[in-house]
Amino acid sequence: MRGNDAIGEAAIVAGCRCYFGYPITPQNELIEYMARRMPEEGRVFIQSESELAAINMVLGASAAGARVMTSSSSPGFSLKQEGISFMAGQELPAVIVNIMRGGPGLGNIAPAQSDYFQATKGGGHGDYYTVVLAPSSVQEMADLTIDAFRLADLYRNPVIILGDGMLGQMMEPVEFPEKGEKTDLHKEYALTGAKGRPGRLIKSLILDTKEMEDHNWKLARKYERIKKNEVRYKTFKLEDADMAVVAYGTSARIAKGAIKRVREEGLKVGLIQPITLWPFPSQFIRKCGRSIKDFFVFEMSTGQMLYDVKLALEGEGRVHFHGRPGGIITTPLELSRIIARHYYRVKKEKER
């Protein structure tokens, strides 16, 4: 199944009640898939007039208590930031998919990883974060989508699935669990009409400064809980490594191929693949920094996750960066040569 389609089917399995979206390459397949499948399942589908309208429809549907999703690509993701900020402030759950492409501005339609900052550092205004999940295969696109709905409801927060154009288009075998989740879950904050109770209010406007501060700290405490409980990462050949590549998404797949090659030549290189880009596996990387002294960050951008790796290490290691923005995909063979060259250079410096 195609990556974009897998996200759609996974959302349906997870009980997604509404999908609102706007076409933008490279995720058009997802909105078309939902246009076909949502009515088949008796669920709601609207092609809205813009990504801006879509995220606001998500806000409304979420306020009414439904599981709801929208998707876009980089320029459209920028349009959604206001809505995401509002939903974070109002503590409403939602799943937002960003299939990244080249940027900034209109960019191009090739895969990229240049929206990392925007996704992980609260891309809209205000003090907030969203959980960010980074799949690297079609199966992960499906599994993480189902997880995203669970996490969004659990923490009453928007969750972002950060894919890229290559993942969206590639076709791989994928398995879905049984359609278990009901679409209507009872939520104690949801607006359903004030039957037998006082009116409920979902808002983010808090004019009183003390109350506003309290609200911000309440959100901060929630984010600390998420940081403690939801960090996820994968490793590959890390046990005896003296250099660790750090990469996510498509870059992680390429890195795995490169590492397999350099391992055949005896270079002890491993991979750290964050699955949650927020919360970032900082503690794990810091721990690795005690035994591994060289980190090689590989991204399809000019360097964004690079800074989270540096922050995580707190000076405990050397960080090298290799990146290609704009849709130029480094092949595993090319990357293996670049990694090997860096490995030998570092070895020579150590021997001096």
Partner 1 sequence: MKKVYAWPKSLKRGVPFHYCPGCGHSIIHKLIAQVIDEMGIREKVICVPPAGCAVLAYNYLDIDMVEAPHGRAAAVATGIKRVLPQNLVFSYQGDGDLAAIGTAETIHAANRSENISIFFINNAVYGMTGGQMAPTTLLGQKTSTSLGGREAKRDGYPIDMCKLLATLKGAVYLERTAVNSPANILKTKKAIIRSFQIQRDDQGFSLIDILSPCPTNWRMNSVESCRWIDEVMIKVYPLGVIKDETK
Assess contact for 296 and 138: CB atoms under 8 A: no
Place of tokens 């600390």: 224
Decide: is 201 part of the binding site for partner 1 (CB under 8 A).
Answer: yes
Minimum Å gap between C-beta 48 and partner 1 is 7
Cα–Cα nearest to 96, from 132, 124, 127: 132
Minimum Å gap between C-beta 184 and partner 1 is 9
Nearest-angstrom CA–CA distance, 103 and 294: 30
Helix (H) or strand (E) holding 82: helix 81-90
Minimum Å gap between C-beta 156 and partner 1 is 14
Site string for partner 1, 63-92 (x = CB under 8 A): xxxx-x-------------xx--x---x--
Q: Give CA 173 to chain center in angstroms.
A: 21
Nearer Cβ to partner 1, position 56 or 251? 56
Decide: is 193 part of the binding site for partner 1 (CB under 8 A).
Answer: yes
Residue from 23, 32, 41, 60 in contact with partner 1 (CB under 8 A)? 60
Residue from 10, 31, 34, 58 in contact with partner 1 (CB under 8 A)? 58
Nearest-angstrom CA–CA distance, 260 and 349: 24
Nearest-angstrom CA–CA distance, 240 and 88: 41
Binding range to partner 1, per CB under 8 A, among 112-120, 162-170, 202-210, 226-234: 202-210
Please enumerate in sequence order all residues whose Cβ is within 8 A of that of 207, keeping only pairs 6 or more positions apart, or say none: none
Please list, residue by residue across 120-137, b when 16 or more beta carbons sit within 10 angstroms of its beta carbon and e when fewer do: bebbbeeebbbbbbbbbb
Minimum Å gap between C-beta 208 and partner 1 is 12
Decide: is 192 part of the binding site for partner 1 (CB under 8 A).
Answer: yes
Assess contact for 11 and 71: CB atoms under 8 A: no
Could you tell me how many residues of this chain bind partner 1 (CB under 8 A)? Answer: 41
Decide: is 48 part of the binding site for partner 1 (CB under 8 A).
Answer: yes
Place of tokens 């003090």: 127
Residues between 215 and 274 that touch partner 1 (CB under 8 A): none
Minimum Å gap between C-beta 332 and partner 1 is 43
Assess contact for 299 and 305: CB atoms under 8 A: yes
Nearer Cβ to partner 1, position 59 or 160? 59
Decide: is 157 part of the binding site for partner 1 (CB under 8 A).
Answer: no
Token pair in block for residue 187: 């939520």
Binding range to partner 1, per CB under 8 A, among 49-57, 112-120, 171-179, 304-312: 49-57
Token pair in block for residue 338: 């670049």
Binding range to partner 1, per CB under 8 A, among 143-151, 191-199, 279-287, 289-297: 191-199
Minimum Å gap between C-beta 350 and partner 1 is 54
**Phi, psi for 32 (deg, rounded to 5):** -70, -40
Minimum Å gap between C-beta 278 and partner 1 is 23
Nearest-angstrom CA–CA distance, 251 and 248: 6
Place of tokens 């998707």: 71
Residues between 10 and 39 that touch partner 1 (CB under 8 A): 17-18, 20
Which positions touch partner 1 (CB under 8 A)? 17-18, 20, 44, 46, 48-50, 52-54, 56-66, 68, 82-83, 86, 90, 191-196, 198-205
